[in-house]
Amino acid sequence: MRALRVLVAAVAAVALLTNAGPAIAQDEPATRDFESTGIFYLQENLDLQSVPVNQYADSQLRVRFTQPGIYDLDYNVRGAISGRTPFDALIVVRLWNETTSSVVGGSERMVVHVIDRDPADLPVGANDTIPISERITVDGVPTTIVLQAMRFVRQPSGNTTAAWIFSNPHGRTSVRVLKVHP
């Protein structure tokens, strides 16, 4: 029964990843300028398989603030990961301030984590959507914040066969920006 559940979960994750296709077609720039408020969606899926393990990569979800002030950032981040047992891997995201070359404090989140120690070489996978809500103060303008992601593989463990941050009709990766002061 356990093997059947694992197989069904892996097939579902692979189907979601296979059908991820291109992200939403929108006529929005890769970097969105904000003066007060708005919502922006990830336009280009981030394939974490093409990035070395345990290394952050920039997504195309970038926000450039052109006015000083205090802003609320509310992200929904969708990710999926798959591999073969034995397997222990996860996807981690964070907000990166490109202007100051620093992490937005407290913004690190685990998107999805799969652990299966079964030595039977079975497919496993999962996907999830998580929130990130942070308040930032923008003094120097322009200031650019970018969503970064990393696939982390614990050793000894099998490697991932697919790892993505993505947007499609089954779920979106997005950011809502609201200027709260002044």
Tell me the mean pLDDT per 10 residues along the chain, length 182: 42 41 41 77 95 96 93 97 94 97 97 93 95 95 95 84 94 95 88
pLDDT value at residue 158: 76
Q: How far apart are alpha carbons 43 and 143 in whole angstroms? A: 21
pLDDT value at residue 35: 66
Q: Which two tokens stand for residue 37?
A: 């408020």
pLDDT value at residue 36: 67
Domain boundaries, the chain: 2-181
Q: What angle do CA 162, 158, 107 make, to 5 degrees?
A: 60
pLDDT value at residue 34: 66
pLDDT value at residue 128: 97
CB 23: neighbour CB atoms within 10 A? 20
CATH 2.60.120.760 fits 2-181, yes or no: yes
pLDDT value at residue 30: 60
Distances (CA, A) of 8 to 11, 39, 85: 5, 35, 14
Q: Which two tokens stand for residue 144?
A: 């650019």
